[in-house]
Amino acid sequence: MILETKNLEFSYPDGTKAIDDISITIPEGKKVSFVGKNGSGKSTLFLLLNGTLKPKSGKVLFGGKEVNYSASGLRELRKKVGIVFQNSDDQLFAPTVYQDIAFGPLNLGYSKEEIERVVNQMLDHFGLQSLKDKPPHHLSGGQKKRVAIAGVLAMDPDIIILDEPLSNLDPVGADEILDILNELNGLGKTIIISTHDVDLAYQWSDYVYLLSSSKLINEGTPGFVFSNDEEVRNSALKSPFILDVYRELEKRWLAPGNAQPKDIP
Protein backbone atom coordinates (compact mmCIF):
# COMPACT_ATOMS: atom_id res chain seq x y z
CA MET A 1 0.00 0.00 0.00
CA ILE A 2 1.14 3.50 -0.78
CA LEU A 3 2.45 5.83 1.91
CA GLU A 4 2.08 9.53 1.15
CA THR A 5 2.22 12.93 2.79
CA LYS A 6 0.46 16.11 1.73
CA ASN A 7 1.73 19.52 2.80
CA LEU A 8 3.07 18.01 6.00
CA GLU A 9 4.18 20.43 8.73
CA PHE A 10 5.52 19.69 12.17
CA SER A 11 7.06 21.82 14.92
CA TYR A 12 8.29 20.65 18.33
CA PRO A 13 6.77 22.22 21.44
CA ASP A 14 9.78 24.55 21.77
CA GLY A 15 8.85 26.03 18.37
CA THR A 16 11.55 24.30 16.27
CA LYS A 17 10.09 23.72 12.82
CA ALA A 18 11.25 20.22 11.89
CA ILE A 19 9.10 19.50 8.81
CA ASP A 20 8.16 22.27 6.41
CA ASP A 21 5.51 21.60 3.76
CA ILE A 22 6.58 18.15 2.61
CA SER A 23 4.44 16.32 0.03
CA ILE A 24 5.69 12.92 -1.11
CA THR A 25 4.43 9.62 -2.51
CA ILE A 26 6.86 6.89 -1.53
CA PRO A 27 7.37 4.41 -4.38
CA GLU A 28 6.05 0.99 -3.43
CA GLY A 29 8.36 -2.02 -3.23
CA LYS A 30 11.49 0.08 -3.74
CA LYS A 31 14.68 0.82 -1.80
CA VAL A 32 14.24 4.43 -0.74
CA SER A 33 16.70 6.79 0.99
CA PHE A 34 16.10 10.07 2.75
CA VAL A 35 19.36 11.95 2.57
CA GLY A 36 20.24 15.05 4.54
CA LYS A 37 22.69 16.29 7.12
CA ASN A 38 21.95 15.96 10.83
CA GLY A 39 18.99 18.07 11.85
CA SER A 40 17.46 18.20 8.35
CA GLY A 41 14.24 16.51 9.57
CA LYS A 42 14.67 12.82 8.63
CA SER A 43 13.88 11.28 12.04
CA THR A 44 10.93 13.59 12.59
CA LEU A 45 9.51 12.69 9.19
CA PHE A 46 9.85 8.98 9.99
CA LEU A 47 8.00 9.41 13.29
CA LEU A 48 5.23 11.19 11.38
CA LEU A 49 5.11 8.40 8.77
CA ASN A 50 4.32 5.72 11.35
CA GLY A 51 2.00 7.87 13.44
CA THR A 52 4.28 8.30 16.47
CA LEU A 53 4.00 12.06 15.91
CA LYS A 54 0.87 13.83 14.72
CA PRO A 55 1.22 16.56 12.06
CA LYS A 56 0.63 20.18 13.01
CA SER A 57 -1.00 20.57 9.62
CA GLY A 58 -1.13 18.55 6.41
CA LYS A 59 -1.67 14.81 6.23
CA VAL A 60 -0.08 11.38 6.21
CA LEU A 61 -2.00 8.92 4.01
CA PHE A 62 -1.63 5.15 3.91
CA GLY A 63 -3.38 3.22 1.16
CA GLY A 64 -4.99 6.48 0.06
CA LYS A 65 -6.64 7.09 3.47
CA GLU A 66 -5.66 9.70 6.01
CA VAL A 67 -4.11 8.16 9.13
CA ASN A 68 -6.61 7.68 11.91
CA TYR A 69 -4.90 8.70 15.16
CA SER A 70 -7.17 6.60 17.42
CA ALA A 71 -5.48 3.72 19.30
CA SER A 72 -6.90 1.14 16.88
CA GLY A 73 -6.05 3.25 13.81
CA LEU A 74 -2.46 3.59 14.96
CA ARG A 75 -2.20 -0.13 15.73
CA GLU A 76 -3.31 -0.87 12.14
CA LEU A 77 -0.79 1.60 10.71
CA ARG A 78 2.14 0.33 12.80
CA LYS A 79 1.39 -3.25 11.80
CA LYS A 80 1.93 -2.23 8.19
CA VAL A 81 4.59 0.47 8.62
CA GLY A 82 7.35 -0.75 10.95
CA ILE A 83 10.11 1.48 12.24
CA VAL A 84 13.63 0.60 13.40
CA PHE A 85 15.20 3.37 15.47
CA GLN A 86 18.72 4.61 14.99
CA ASN A 87 19.73 3.61 18.49
CA SER A 88 18.78 -0.03 19.10
CA ASP A 89 18.77 0.60 22.87
CA ASP A 90 15.71 2.85 22.34
CA GLN A 91 13.92 -0.10 20.76
CA LEU A 92 14.97 -3.16 22.76
CA PHE A 93 13.66 -3.25 26.29
CA ALA A 94 12.44 -6.81 27.07
CA PRO A 95 14.54 -9.01 29.38
CA THR A 96 15.44 -11.44 26.56
CA VAL A 97 15.89 -11.43 22.79
CA TYR A 98 12.98 -13.88 22.49
CA GLN A 99 10.61 -11.64 24.44
CA ASP A 100 11.69 -8.60 22.51
CA ILE A 101 10.84 -10.19 19.16
CA ALA A 102 7.58 -11.53 20.64
CA PHE A 103 6.48 -8.09 21.86
CA GLY A 104 4.93 -6.86 18.57
CA PRO A 105 2.98 -10.05 17.77
CA LEU A 106 1.81 -10.20 21.41
CA ASN A 107 0.55 -6.63 21.15
CA LEU A 108 -1.27 -7.45 17.94
CA GLY A 109 -3.14 -10.19 19.78
CA TYR A 110 -1.57 -13.22 18.05
CA SER A 111 -2.22 -16.62 19.71
CA LYS A 112 0.51 -18.22 21.84
CA GLU A 113 1.22 -20.82 19.13
CA GLU A 114 1.36 -18.18 16.42
CA ILE A 115 3.78 -16.07 18.47
CA GLU A 116 6.05 -19.07 19.05
CA ARG A 117 6.00 -19.89 15.35
CA VAL A 118 6.76 -16.34 14.22
CA VAL A 119 9.47 -15.69 16.81
CA ASN A 120 11.24 -18.98 16.04
CA GLN A 121 11.07 -18.20 12.35
CA MET A 122 12.71 -14.80 13.04
CA LEU A 123 15.36 -16.32 15.34
CA ASP A 124 16.27 -18.88 12.66
CA HIS A 125 16.20 -16.40 9.85
CA PHE A 126 18.41 -13.83 11.59
CA GLY A 127 20.82 -16.37 13.12
CA LEU A 128 19.72 -15.45 16.64
CA GLN A 129 18.66 -18.84 18.09
CA SER A 130 21.76 -19.12 20.28
CA LEU A 131 21.10 -15.64 21.69
CA LYS A 132 17.38 -16.00 22.38
CA ASP A 133 17.67 -16.07 26.19
CA LYS A 134 20.23 -13.26 26.41
CA PRO A 135 19.34 -9.73 27.48
CA PRO A 136 19.44 -7.58 24.30
CA HIS A 137 21.74 -4.99 25.92
CA HIS A 138 24.49 -7.67 26.18
CA LEU A 139 24.66 -8.05 22.38
CA SER A 140 26.97 -6.41 19.84
CA GLY A 141 25.73 -3.45 17.77
CA GLY A 142 25.10 -5.63 14.70
CA GLN A 143 23.27 -8.29 16.75
CA LYS A 144 21.08 -5.64 18.41
CA LYS A 145 20.19 -4.21 15.02
CA ARG A 146 19.22 -7.68 13.79
CA VAL A 147 16.99 -8.20 16.85
CA ALA A 148 15.37 -4.79 16.28
CA ILE A 149 14.70 -5.62 12.61
CA ALA A 150 13.42 -9.11 13.54
CA GLY A 151 11.01 -7.54 16.07
CA VAL A 152 9.57 -5.26 13.40
CA LEU A 153 9.46 -7.99 10.75
CA ALA A 154 7.61 -10.32 13.14
CA MET A 155 4.54 -8.12 12.53
CA ASP A 156 4.91 -8.65 8.76
CA PRO A 157 4.83 -4.99 7.71
CA ASP A 158 4.62 -3.90 4.06
CA ILE A 159 6.98 -1.02 4.70
CA ILE A 160 10.05 -1.00 6.93
CA ILE A 161 11.54 2.34 7.91
CA LEU A 162 15.07 2.35 9.34
CA ASP A 163 16.64 5.48 10.80
CA GLU A 164 20.39 5.50 9.99
CA PRO A 165 20.53 1.67 9.99
CA LEU A 166 24.29 1.43 9.50
CA SER A 167 25.42 4.01 12.05
CA ASN A 168 27.80 2.62 14.68
CA LEU A 169 28.24 -0.69 12.85
CA ASP A 170 31.60 -2.06 11.71
CA PRO A 171 31.91 -2.82 7.96
CA VAL A 172 31.00 -6.51 8.42
CA GLY A 173 27.95 -5.67 10.57
CA ALA A 174 26.92 -2.98 8.06
CA ASP A 175 27.17 -5.44 5.15
CA GLU A 176 25.05 -7.97 7.06
CA ILE A 177 22.33 -5.40 7.59
CA LEU A 178 22.45 -4.30 3.94
CA ASP A 179 22.10 -7.95 2.87
CA ILE A 180 19.03 -8.26 5.11
CA LEU A 181 17.50 -5.07 3.68
CA ASN A 182 18.11 -6.23 0.12
CA GLU A 183 16.58 -9.60 0.88
CA LEU A 184 13.48 -8.04 2.44
CA ASN A 185 13.12 -5.78 -0.56
CA GLY A 186 13.39 -8.89 -2.77
CA LEU A 187 10.36 -10.23 -0.87
CA GLY A 188 8.41 -7.18 -2.02
CA LYS A 189 8.74 -4.94 1.03
CA THR A 190 9.34 -1.22 0.66
CA ILE A 191 12.54 -0.39 2.52
CA ILE A 192 13.04 3.22 3.61
CA ILE A 193 16.26 4.38 5.24
CA SER A 194 17.67 7.69 6.35
CA THR A 195 21.32 8.42 5.91
CA HIS A 196 23.83 11.23 5.59
CA ASP A 197 26.10 8.82 3.72
CA VAL A 198 25.75 9.97 0.12
CA ASP A 199 27.81 7.05 -1.21
CA LEU A 200 25.42 4.57 0.38
CA ALA A 201 22.38 6.47 -0.90
CA TYR A 202 23.84 6.69 -4.41
CA GLN A 203 24.75 3.03 -4.67
CA TRP A 204 21.96 1.33 -2.72
CA SER A 205 18.78 3.26 -3.47
CA ASP A 206 16.22 3.05 -6.23
CA TYR A 207 14.82 6.42 -5.20
CA VAL A 208 16.22 9.31 -3.16
CA TYR A 209 14.67 12.23 -1.27
CA LEU A 210 17.05 15.08 -0.48
CA LEU A 211 16.15 17.05 2.66
CA SER A 212 17.67 20.26 3.94
CA SER A 213 16.53 22.53 6.80
CA SER A 214 13.21 20.66 7.21
CA LYS A 215 12.35 20.99 3.50
CA LEU A 216 12.27 18.58 0.58
CA ILE A 217 14.87 19.87 -1.88
CA ASN A 218 14.66 17.22 -4.59
CA GLU A 219 13.59 13.65 -5.29
CA GLY A 220 14.16 11.02 -7.95
CA THR A 221 16.62 8.34 -8.97
CA PRO A 222 20.04 8.68 -7.30
CA GLY A 223 21.55 9.58 -10.69
CA PHE A 224 19.06 12.43 -11.07
CA VAL A 225 19.24 13.81 -7.52
CA PHE A 226 23.02 13.66 -7.22
CA SER A 227 23.64 15.06 -10.68
CA ASN A 228 22.64 18.45 -9.27
CA ASP A 229 25.96 19.07 -7.56
CA GLU A 230 25.07 22.59 -6.43
CA GLU A 231 21.88 21.45 -4.73
CA VAL A 232 23.72 18.63 -2.97
CA ARG A 233 26.44 20.97 -1.74
CA ASN A 234 23.89 23.61 -0.66
CA SER A 235 22.35 20.87 1.48
CA ALA A 236 25.77 20.65 3.20
CA LEU A 237 26.48 17.23 1.74
CA LYS A 238 29.39 16.14 -0.39
CA SER A 239 28.87 14.61 -3.78
CA PRO A 240 29.07 10.78 -4.03
CA PHE A 241 32.70 9.67 -4.44
CA ILE A 242 32.00 7.76 -7.64
CA LEU A 243 30.43 10.84 -9.27
CA ASP A 244 33.43 12.96 -8.26
CA VAL A 245 35.75 10.43 -9.90
CA TYR A 246 33.59 10.37 -13.01
CA ARG A 247 33.52 14.19 -13.22
CA GLU A 248 37.27 14.39 -12.74
CA LEU A 249 37.90 11.84 -15.48
CA GLU A 250 35.48 13.63 -17.77
CA LYS A 251 37.26 16.94 -17.14
CA ARG A 252 40.66 15.47 -17.92
CA TRP A 253 39.59 13.54 -20.97
CA LEU A 254 37.35 16.13 -22.50
CA ALA A 255 39.56 19.19 -22.01
CA PRO A 256 41.13 20.13 -25.38
CA GLY A 257 44.65 18.82 -25.78
CA ASN A 258 44.38 16.47 -22.83
CA ALA A 259 44.97 12.78 -22.98
CA GLN A 260 42.00 10.85 -24.32
CA PRO A 261 41.01 7.46 -22.91
CA LYS A 262 42.56 5.70 -25.89
CA ASP A 263 45.92 7.39 -25.15
CA ILE A 264 46.06 6.10 -21.60
CA PRO A 265 48.10 2.93 -21.47
User: Cα(first)–Cα(last) distance of the chain, in Å?
Assistant: 53
Q: Strands 57-62, 65-66: parallel, antiparallel or unpaired by DSSP? A: antiparallel
Asked if residue 14 binds ligand ADP (CB under 6 A), the reply is: yes
d(CA 78, CA 260): 55
Comparison of 14 and 230: residue with beta carbon closer to ligand ADP: 14
CA dist., res. 39 & res. 34, Å (int): 12
**Residue 37 CB, nearest distance to ligand ADP (Å)?**
7
Number of helices and strands in the chain (H, E):
10, 10
Q: Could you say whether residue 36 binds ligand ADP (CB under 6 A)?
A: yes
SS3 state at 96: coil
Closest approach, Cβ 152 to ligand ADP, in A, equals 18
Q: Does 40 bind ligand ADP (CB under 6 A)?
A: yes
Q: Are 180 and 68 a contacting pair, CB within 8 Å?
A: no
Chosen residue from 1, 7, 12, 57 binding ligand ADP by CB under 6 A? 12
User: With contacts defined by CB under 6 A, how many residues of the chain interact with ligand ADP?
Assistant: 12
Q: Is 51 in the site for ligand ADP (CB under 6 A)?
A: no
As measured in angstroms, the least distance from the Cβ of 201 to ligand ADP is 13
Are the C-beta atoms of residues 99 and 150 closer than 8 Å to each other? Answer: no
Q: Is 263 in the site for ligand ADP (CB under 6 A)?
A: no
Residue selected from 29, 39, 58, 141 as contacting ligand ADP according to rule CB under 6 A: 39
Q: Please identify, among the stretches 37-45, 100-108, 146-154, 218-226, the one whose residues bind ligand ADP according to the rule CB under 6 A.
A: 37-45
Q: Does 22 bind ligand ADP (CB under 6 A)?
A: no
The one among 3, 31, 33, 44 contacting ligand ADP by CB under 6 A: 44
Beta-sheet strand order (sheet of 57-62): 17-26, 3-11, 57-62, 65-66
What separation in angstroms does the CA of 226 have from each of 37, 98, 134, 253? 15, 42, 43, 22
Task: Decide: is 144 part of the binding site for ligand ADP (CB under 6 A).
Answer: no
Q: What angle do CA 71, 77, 78 make, to 5 degrees?
A: 90
- Minimum Å distance from CB 254 to ligand ADP? 37
Residues that bind ligand ADP (CB under 6 A): 12, 14, 16, 18, 36, 38-44
